[in-house]
């Protein structure tokens, strides 16, 4: 018997049971997707990047100056300019090591073997893992639009467009297989991304649940929202 999916809601009637046995379609896929791991960064340049991330997250891109970053680290402004041309250079470097690779990761997960539901589940887990690895960076780029520079906003929108396309394609495949009733797959994709991106706001790595447990709760919740009860359930 496969693992069990637990609905994250509170209703426990016949239509929305608190737990259901997975069918073969819900079983963990045979093709594993590597969990995202934060890149270990050491040295002065990396200290500058991490300090910039912390300040951008707290004060926004526009509200953070090069002098703020230097002062926080206890170095002169010239040290920052030794590594980065300007504040935009810092921003671009943060994007490069964190969020920029998200579309490639999701496209790879979606391209693996298996039926549409299996691939959809795999993409969700890959997305959550990547968000956990770079939670603060992801939140800045993908949620806090008002905190980004013009170039950062443009880069973020390009990344989000590719991510959206991955989900729309999978939802269209689920619709073609009869598992998703609504033909409005783009609206469904936005709703799914709303759940995944909101996770960036509340998740804490030191919470009572392991990352795996949190992933399973979110994946189960999304699957219920997208397809309802699995085949054989009313």
Distance linking the first and last C-alpha atoms of the chain: 21
Closest CA to 179 of 227, 234, 110, 116: 227
Q: Would you say residue 38 lies in a domain?
A: no
CA distance linking residue 40 with residue 164, whole number of Å:
29
Tokens of 148: 């980004």
Task: Find the CATH number of the domain harbouring 193.
Answer: 1.10.357.10
Q: Is residue 39 part of a domain?
A: no
Considering the domain architecture, whether residues 88 and 120 belong to the same structural domain is answered as: no
Taking a C-beta distance cutoff of 8 angstroms, is the pair 16, 7 a contact?
A: yes
Rounded CA separation 169/94 (Å): 29
57: domain CATH number is: 1.10.10.60
**Does a structural domain hold residue 234?**
no
Per-residue pLDDT of the chain (234 residues; tens, 9 = 90+): 443 333 333 333 333 333 333 333 334 333 444 444 444 445 889 999 999 999 988 888 888 999 999 999 999 999 999 999 988 888 889 988 888 999 999 999 999 888 999 999 999 999 999 988 888 888 888 777 667 777 778 888 899 999 999 999 999 999 999 999 999 999 999 999 999 888 888 878 788 888 888 888 899 999 888 887 554 444
Indicate if 104 and 83 belong to the same structural domain: no
Domain assignment of residue 49, given as a range: 44-96
- Split into its structural domains, the chain has a count of 2
| pTM for this model (two decimals) | 0.73
CA distance 166 to 157: 14
Within a domain: 69: yes
Q: Say whether both 59 and 107 belong to one domain.
A: no
Last residue of some domain: 81, 96, 111?
A: 96
């Amino acid at each position: 018997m496969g693992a069990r999916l637990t609905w994250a809601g509170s209703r426990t009637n016949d239509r929305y049971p608190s737990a259901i046995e997975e069918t073969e379609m819900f079983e963990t896929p045979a093709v594993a997707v590597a969990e995202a791991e934060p890149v270990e960064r050491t040295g002065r340049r990396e200290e500058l990047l991490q300090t910039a991330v912390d300040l951008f997250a707290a004060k926004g891109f526009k509200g953070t100056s090069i002098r703020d970053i230097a002062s926080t680290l206890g170095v002169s402004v010239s040290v920052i300019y030794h590594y980065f041309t300007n504040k935009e250079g810092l921003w671009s470097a943060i994007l490069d090591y964190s969020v920029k690779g998200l579309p490639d990761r999701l496209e790879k997960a979606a391209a693996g073997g298996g039926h549409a539901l299996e691939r959809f589940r795999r993409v969700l887990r890959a997305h959550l893992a990547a968000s956990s690895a770079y939670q603060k960076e992801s939140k800045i780029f993908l949620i806090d639009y008002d905190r980004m520079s013009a170039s950062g906003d443009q880069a973020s929108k390009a990344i989000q467009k590719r991510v959206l396309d991955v989900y729309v394609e999978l939802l269209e495949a689920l619709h073609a297989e009869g598992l998703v009733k609504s033909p409005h797959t783009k609206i469904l994709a936005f709703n799914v991304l709303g759940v995944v991106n909101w996770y960036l706001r509340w998740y804490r790595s030191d919470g009572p649940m392991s990352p795996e447990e949190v992933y399973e709760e979110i994946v189960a919740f999304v699957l219920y929202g997208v397809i309802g009860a699995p085949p054989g359930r009313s």
